[in-house]
Amino acid sequence: MGCRPVAAFVSIAVSTTGGDARSFLERFYDGIGDLATEYEFSIAGGDTTAWDGPFAVNVCLIGTPVCNSPVLRSGACDGDQLYVTGPLGGSLESGHHLTFVPRLNESRWLAETNCVTSMMDISDGLSLDLHRLCQASGVGATLIAGQIPVSDRVDSEKSAEQRLLHALGDGEDFELLFTVPPTSVADLKRAPFTVHHIGEMCQAGGICLSRNGATENLPMTGWRSF
């Protein structure tokens, strides 16, 4: 994390049975071109083929750190404070996963401010991705249930418990999950974007959810590709 995009390589398999391929390709590359302009990267190559299956697209995006090195998920320490950049849950049901704004500017600011010890994006759910960050860093964590921002994309008719479960496990949020040492927490007041404090890192020994004056083990809920 903490990088700027440089170039994209776009490979596409065009369907010979899936309708108007020309119209699809024009709209697809218009969209890619708009993103390339907005985020200042080039479309450097890729591959194109045709087959009798559905349209298939693969995009490989490469980047370079805005500082000397990227911010990894492996640098969190005991006592670091845990944050996210936005509300969580309900992405797939609402279509947010197709319209979200990448947190590139936020990632750059955090890296350039040099106030974070670890960072990753939340793609598979807060619970599962936090477990991954803790495993990479060799630490544990305590989440504070009442401070986890639940998105208004989650049905307001659901119970508080159900809404929390959506925030913990839905995934496809693409918000940043990051840790900050206590000595750098004040730096976040200068951030030109909203951050939410959701917990604290602790010595290795488990990941817990704190609520109603008690703690419980946090299960690894979220999307698993394998």
CA distance 195 to 88: 12
Q: Which CATH architecture has domain 3-65?
A: 2-Layer Sandwich (3.30)
| Contact (CB, 8 A) for 61 and 5 | yes
pTM of the predicted protein model: 0.92
Q: Provide the CA 108 distance to its chain's centre, in angstroms.
A: 14
Nearest in space to 179 (alpha carbons), one of 215, 124, 219, 129: 129
pLDDT digits (tens, 9 = 90+) for 28-79: 999 999 999 999 999 999 999 999 998 899 999 999 999 989 999 999 999 9
Q: Provide the CA 96 distance to its chain's centre, in angstroms.
A: 13
Q: Is 92 exposed, middle or buried (0-12, 13-18, 19+ CB in 10 A)?
A: middle
pLDDT digits (tens, 9 = 90+) for 112-151: 999 999 999 999 999 999 999 999 999 999 999 999 999 9
What is 81-217's CATH topology?
A: Phosphoribosyl-aminoimidazole Synthetase; Chain A, domain 2 (3.90.650)
Q: Give ranges for CATH 3.90.650.10 in the chain.
A: 81-217
Q: Give ranges for CATH 3.30.1330.10 in the chain.
A: 3-65
